[in-house]
Structure 1
Amino acid sequence: MKRVAFHELVEIAEVRRMLEAHQQLTGTVSAIVDTDGNILVAAGWQDVCTRFHRANPRTAWRCQQSDAYLKEHLGTGSEEYLDYRCLNGLRDVAMPIVISGEHLATFFTGQFFYEDEKPDEDFFRQQAREFAFDEEEYLDAVRRAPVFTREQVSHTMRYFRSLVHLLANMGLKNLHLAQEVQERQHAEAALRRTETVLRSIFDTIPDQLSLIDREYRTIHSNRPGRLERADRGEADQCHDFYFGIGEPCNNCHVAKAFETGERVVTEKRNPRMGHIEVRAYPVFDESGEVATVVEHIRDINERRRIDEALRESEQRLRTTIHGSAIPIFVVGSDRKVIHWNRALEQLTGISEADVVGTDRAWSAFHDTERPLLADLLATGKSDEISRWYGTFCDKSKLIAEAYESTGFSTKVPGGGKWLHFTAAALRDTRGKLIGAIETIEDITERKEAEEKWRSLYNNLPGGSYTVNENRIIEDVNDLVCTITGFSRDELVGKPCGVICSNAQGGCHFLDHGVEHLDNKEILLRGKDGRYIPIIKSARRIVTGKRLMVVENFQDITEQKRLEEQLRHSQKMEAIGQMAGGVAHDFNNILTVILGNANLLQMKTEENEPLLRHLDQIVKSAEKATHLTHSLLAFSRKHVVRLTAGSVNDIVRKAENLLSRLIPEDIELRFVTGGDFQVKADSVQIEQVIMNLVTNARDAMPAGGMITVGTDEVELDPDAARMKGMVEGGRYVRISVSDNGIGIPADLHQRIFEPFFTTKETGKGTGLGLSIVYGIVKQHNGYIDVHSEPGKGTVMEVCLPSVAETVPRQERTESEPPRGHETVLLAEDEPMVRELTRSILEASGYRVLEAVDGLDALEKFQADGDKIHLLLFDVIMPRMNGKKAYDEIRKVRPDVAALFMSGYTGDFLSSKRGIDEDFNFISKPLTRSTLLHKVREVLETGTPVPAKA
């Protein structure tokens, strides 16, 4: 029963009359308050409280504290009362009202004094003053408050407890009676409602339900046809209704339920209904006997048809799976294998009988247990696929809730195979997960073909990549990565503009409809931001419905470099030809100047004032001679006399000259390595070093340090080709470094161009580094520059290293030797011819003059037996010196010959057949050089080899 309130048990009005009568008799105030604090009834109130204590906020708060104290300290389960002296000085008493163990209300009385605690007027007088009460009125009210003995209070509280309990218990009994009547009424109404609901449910169930008594009569049925017969007085026994017989049939389910008291379930074929499922449920009476049986009949004709169709469908599915040429297996939601077809048996060598009904499908493909895709999908754990398969598995683009993976299985017979797995979840018509199906494709041949294609693709002689219609790179070969510096992952799947420098101008194929492109020169963008020149050919193709662009290209960086080298070489060749032509005429002029100056020096006394002027003429002419040699070296047509020697000796020899060129604010250091041998013209290499050091000096206007060093380096063939060399090998390196102003990167290639200079006008000719470049190339070497603005410059000259060591023959300068032999001189330039004759005759030689080769041949025919030496200019009109010499050799094979020319050595070698086997002296001629060479040829007496 629910918890009742105190006011539901008693008549509150009657209780109020009783409390008011008691208050009139005794002067005792009283009240009953429910557990929520509501005052149910109250009688009387003392003036001291109503007029003073409750009227003043401060003393009213004290009254509230008294009420709160009584409520808090009154035990809810106690029937004793609790008294308390309030803060205002009066006594309050409270008593719980407990009915049937429940605290329903509280009885309060108070506003009195105990006899043994008569009021202290001084206390109340002080309180009147504190709270601004009228003192006399307040004391008068206090005096009117009742005074009780403790015994009186105790009797009063027992009286009220008994009275209230009596009234409450009487009310409780009446309430119980009313509640019982009400509950019975509610139960009867609920039963009627339940019967109505049950009958409605009974009648609306689609299956046939009947309630049958022990006489096999139908008491109620949701098929009224059976009851209509009973209404007409006909028997409605179930065996008569269905089968027309007078007693229950054999194996009657209703009879069995009555007999055993247990539920009976069976299937039968009924003549009227066909196949039915019958259930009989016994219903027991109060004594435990079966009083009635509920008969439940369900038409199962459709179910049997569906079951049959399902069996046929399952059979067709099994036939389809097992007859498929594709390896297939099916697992249930418990990972147990349901189907394992013949194709899978052939692939794995595992029979259906060995795996169906187990969860070991994995054993066909792996050595250790791990879930297959079908296992994870069948158990709803698709989120774990990445854990087991990582990036080797993707969602299928064709089938929902399907995944694909490719891998190599060593378990498959035949040494293992590449397999492609596709698994999809299986759900019933309600969407419930019931398993998964997985197909396996043997892609070994395709994989091998892909590997062959990939190998071919990656070994193409050029770079190749494909781009789809969305401008996304789909594939690249290894050479694309090598050339651009990107990895394959950094390119595949990225926009083609990553490497295509033409992205801003639009795509030829996707924007402008171009079908093909052949041998177009464009730039490719590298990872480091540099642009790489390429020759590209491309095709626009359609595969299925997809548009693709296939691009192939060749890196022509090396070709571009070689073209640049060729242009530079052609430029140098053109300027060299000009220099060679100038040198020829200039050499003849210098020969006359130097020769005559030398003759004048011989004939001038040492103390003669004019001798100083002659010396200046000779020095200037010699400087002009060096300039001519520089022009020839620049043109790389000067005949070099390469001899093996130590590069350190050459550096040390240059050191003496360099010390005079370097100012005091620049420190010059030499750091030489081992005794490295090169085959070089030492004079020209000295000139290279001097030019480089001079350039370094000019790059340090505020002073600094120049370091000249030597060491040896090894070049592999690829590095050698990049530097324009024919082959790799060991090279001796001469380096000149400074900490000057440096050279900008864009000028590194231009500094070797003739007449290019960064110096102010008048402070440089622009030929210094060009001459260096020509000399180095003539020695089959190369030169490198390493420089940054503000960080100085390092120039490196590398010459081929040689193993042989040939001691150099040092010749000391001495007075030219004299002679007495006859020399046949052939020279077409009159001034040079006259000067040469004068020099020779002054040294004791007899000279026969000829103006050209034909004239020389005639002179030889006249006095041939008296001639000891042929001194012929190479280039002369009518007949050149070499041809005249050849004619003379026919008569005198042993005749000695010395050729001279102002033309460059390569011109004479290629055009006139004068090579290094001939005795040769270059113009301009000095007296000393000429006389020493003539004496050398006469004394050796060695004729030119017959091959000449």
Structure 2
Amino acid sequence: MKSKPDSFDRQAPEIASLRRELEELRLAKNGLKESEERLKSVVSRSPIPAFVISKDHRILYWNKALAQLTKIRAEDVIGTSQQWRAFYGKKRPCMADLLVSRAQEKISKWYTGKYTKSKLLDEAYEAIDFFPELGHQGKWLRFTAAIIRNESGELIGAIETLEDITRRKKAKEALLRAHKELEERVQERTAELAQANEALLTELMERHRTQKALKQTTDHLSLLLESLPIISYTRKANENFGITFVSSTIEEITGYPPRCFIEEENFWTDHIHPDDRPRILDELKAGQAKGTHRYSYRFRVMDDSYRWFSDYWRVVQLPAGSTNYIVGAWQDVTEDKRIRQEGELRLQQMIQTHKLTALGEVVAGVAHEINNPVSFIAYNVPILEEIWSAVETILSRSSARHPDWEKRGLSFEEVCRNMQEIIQAFKIGANRISRVVTSLKEFSRSDETAQKKLMSVPEVIAGALVIVGAQIRRTVSKIEQDIADDVLPVSGQFQKIEQVIANLLINAHQAIPAGRKGLITIRCRYIERLKAVVVDIEDNGKGIDRKIMDQIFDPFFTTRRDRDGTGLGLSISYGLIREHHGLISVLSRPGRGSRFSLYLPVDGETDISLYPAILCIDHNVKYLKELKANFVDAVIWRSEAQDKPEDILQFLIEHPEVDLIVSEVRLKGFTGWALLEKIHAKFPLLPVILYSADRKALVAPPQAKALPDYTLHKPFSIDKLQKIIHDVGRQQL
């Protein structure tokens, strides 16, 4: 009997565990029951028709709204799988059945073209269909079926909701019918209007035929005008000469549409070249008589270049009281002008070549004729010197105190000194004539077929000075030469480069006005980064007007036409430098002088790519970056305490493309005024702009020897600086 309690004690924990499991199962069932009750409550109270089926397709819930819609009571179908009875005449799956069966792929079979996957609910599908079994005439329903899962994610059933959209469908159909009726009425009314207009159309047919014939004629005429390489126009023959018509060909040639000429009164006049405008307007006003008139002028097109127009026009006289019109045609003759100018250039070059050839022969002959007596003089001068030496010794012994010296107002010492000076002058003159004769022979020698060979640019400069030195010294008081010692030889043709330098020297001396103390500076240096020798020829003459800077290298362009200028010198020089793959640039300041620079690659073959640049100097890196962002050609120099003005001068020597300096006054190593003085002494034509936030710093110190071109008080606008740079002008490179 005592063993029983022991057995019970051993089983007690197991019994307690079993009780807990039973209690948890009871609670789970109660929870499930509560969940089912909540689901039942939600479904039954919902105004939306709905039913719920279990995973074995039996109906769990059938709410009142659905019972009213289908006329089937809930108690008649709950617990059965006859949900199809409410919607179909024979047994078939509803959408909820397909979801419970996991047969989503069959939805397309039963609801072809009527369903879509729900965008709001996962594992749900929507459809619209007509159910003829519902009601007396059937109903249109929108229905949605979705899977129901428990907390563990297991499928436990499905719910399907339905919405009666029959009224909406019927309203839409009624609207479509009304729309159709309206269209029919409109068509009927249109037919009536068509009948009413038929008589009017008949009346207009004759007029239409006339207009058609006129249009065909006009179209043919327009086509003819558009196909011709001319621009037809009409304008009023009054004091304003307003343009009333321009053919569309104008846009192809100028880039401007016809409306610009018609709507803007002065558009045509404003785009005529300023040099041609007075002449054209005078001829237009004077040519109101009968007959055809013709003139040519330059017209500015959209890209700001100029095209040559040939203008033919005549006045059309209208009856008294009406405004007369000018009918005319413009023709673009730019290419004709270019071809004619090229022909004239070739002719002039041919004439020049013949002249130079003939001149070379004459020079060679003259040089030969001069060389003989010069050789005689050069040969006899040493003999004369030797004879005089002997005579001087004899005279010094016997005749130093001869009474005839005093009678003639001479002294023995004066005669000896004069005789020595005369003999020395003979020597110098004979040597100079020999050098000139040699240079003339070299200059007149034809070398068109000569091969390029290494040449010394300083020797080329010296040769050019021998040829034109005497001529330019007539107006030039001083010729300064700054020739570096490390200038490398250049591959090229000696005579051609000599011709270019001689021509630039002559131009420099001709640019110096009468009465001015002329100065020509010649610089020559080798620049390693360019692999080129650079020659500067700078004068302090009258400079070049900015308006003609773009034309100075054009053939036949000259400002000395009245003094036998041909306009070929710079054009030929440009061509000769390009033959050597070099560059020629010009920096000019009106009233202060000009600087022409030659860039000659040492190998004579590598093209030099170089563009004008602005040197910006400041200690403020942020401001330098701002300047760099606004000026793509800016080169920045950050000022440091160890900097000296000579460092920047050396930079300018090595970077001849810099044509403008923009600098802060208060630099770290020195002031902008000190830098300005150094720059002005070495490069007097380089423009300098000084700026500072301190107004006092912009006032020139008492000892200042140079003044900047402009001063700017910070902060200043970039637009203002751009305008100043535009006014100063840039180097043409």
TM-score (norm 2): 0.32
Whichever of the two has the greater Rg, that structure is 1
Structure with a larger share of its residues in helix: 2
TM-score (norm 1): 0.26
